[in-house]
Amino acid sequence: MELRDAAIGLFNFYRKTVDDGYKVILEIFIEGAFTESEMDTLNKILEATTTEEAIHDSRYQTAQNAFAVANGILLLENELNQQFNK
């Protein structure tokens, strides 16, 4: 249940991000010229998204590791994921 709930939380976060933050980002990019206010908005969205994603991702990884240990599953490191996390 913990893994499922963590996955649902992560996926809901991504859906909310696409529905809310990315719409604002696209509107700014479509306009083409970036005012200082728009750059501030972009930076705030990026910071908030990154912070919230880290929370959901950490919960998911913790639940995934617990599930793997409880069920005798060996998790392998993902090289691509390691590149993104540098």
Average pLDDT along the chain, 86 residues, taken 10 residues at a time:
96 94 89 87 94 96 96 89 69
**pLDDT score recorded for residue 3:** 96
Report how many domains make up the chain. Answer: 1
Q: Locate tokens 């919230």: which residue?
A: 52
Residue 78 confidence (pLDDT)? 82
- Rounded CA gap, 34 and 69, in Å? 49
Q: pTM for this one?
A: 0.79
Q: Which domain holds residue 62?
A: 2-84
What's residue 86's pLDDT?
A: 64
